[in-house]
Amino acid sequence: MESSWTLVATTLPCVPLPPNSQREPIRTKRLVIRPMQEDDLQSYHELRAQPEAMTGTARGRPDRDIDESRSAMSDFLSPKDDKMFLYGVFLASTGELIGEGGVHNLESSSCGWPEIGYKFRKEFWGQGYATEFLGAFLQAWWSLPRSHVKRRVCSSSVSRTKDSESEATEQVYANADVNNIGSRKVLEKLGFIQFSEWTEPDTQEHRIGQPLTLVGYCLSKKKGKDTINRD
């Protein structure tokens, strides 16, 4: 990632975030997007046991056992739920868990903005579920109460509001492997704009230290709301 950073005045969701107990399920045409519960563990493990679903993770491999999945699931549950905005993604027709995602980092080390990510079971790729989830999730994210803050962010991600040259427009951030065309198309369809590309040593266990090229995307609060309203 670029070395040029700048301190900006902007808005971000108030912290602590609303805990799971205060989050209403998000419903779309095909999905129920709700906070995870402890009894979702087996379904969550089935998701994380798929090599294809885990290709974009830091380790790049499926969980070896249910205890690894249980550890990962702790990010979705109390007491971490007021520091992350994460949801399970379920089919409305069957209640089946098919994916998960949300904001897993309120201050990304890559660019400073809150970072979004997701993963889906391979059987549900290429059917528009990721786009459907992410669009609905972003509507909930932009609807959270805001506060005015100062934040150190990558200079190339900064855009200014029309009303104030002194305040930067709030962004949400995502990145993808440069070769992951599917995820890149999902982000671009929802209005994310590429602002960076860089190469770093890979952390995945089968590729440790090999060069990995990533692309960084940002979506501004105003543009994200406009995209949702058009849809």
Categorize the per-residue pLDDT at 226 as very low, low, confident or very high, splitting at 50, 70 and 90: low
Mind listing the pLDDT tens digit for each residue in 1-49? 556 999 999 999 999 999 999 999 999 999 999 999 999 999 999 999 9
What pTM was estimated for this model as a whole? 0.92
Structural domain boundaries of the chain?
A: 5-230
What is the SS3 string spanning 90-110?
EECCCCCEEEEEEEEECCCCC
pLDDT at position 2: 56
Question: In the predicted model, is pLDDT for residue 201 greater than 90?
Answer: yes
Give the model confidence (pLDDT) of 81-128 as tens digits: 999 999 999 999 999 999 999 999 999 999 999 999 999 999 999 999
| pLDDT tens per residue, range 148-168 | 999 999 999 998 766 656 799
The one-letter code for the residue type at 103 is V
* Pairwise CA distance, residues 191 & 85, whole Å: 20
Q: Cα angle vertex 84, ends 69, 189, to 5°?
A: 95
Residue with tokens 């090229």: 213
Domain 5-230 maps to which CATH number in 2.40.100.10, 3.40.630.30, 3.20.20.70, 3.20.10.10? 3.40.630.30
CB of 23 closer than 8 Å to CB of 167: no
